[in-house]
Structure 1
């Protein structure tokens, strides 16, 4: 099992989604799976998670946390990342895409609230 969350300080967060053509959904998944494990283990990666949307299975969410900008820059130059991007941009019909980048000023860990 790939450790997705390491509970280490995160100063950069990227939240994105991709809506892909239904005929290209599996090709998208096949393009990103090979680099999931290597990315999660990269120096400075605190978490890296792709997840299918619960309402629209053709929308895939990506949430990633990084120690700092240098770690993101190293990730963006990684051969597995570049291979996945080349595959996605080269032949997968992405119908919608959005990404937001966040600088984290403070971070706290907690649990879900308990219903009374």
Structure 2
């Protein structure tokens, strides 16, 4: 009985540790230094999260950007609002980063 109780306690502590969630870090940055009138690439980078079950969505002016690759979300920019939205399973409040891209004209 003593061994069963020890096993049950160890199992409980192990499952609590595995179920711990770490908040993600979301960054939006440009590939090159910004120059007025020149094309650049914005990168949405999500890191430092656990568990690894997440969804990253890129939106331009509130509309999802079609065919965004989940492993490399770099793309050419045009003026408007860019939103990088990360959703993690089991988390109610997920980070959202929004950048306003200003027209050079």
TM-score with structure 1 setting the length: 0.28
- TM-score when normalising by structure 2: 0.30
Q: Which has the higher strand share?
A: 2
Structure with more contact order per residue of length (Cα contacts < 8 Å, sep ≥ 6): 1
| Rg larger for | 2
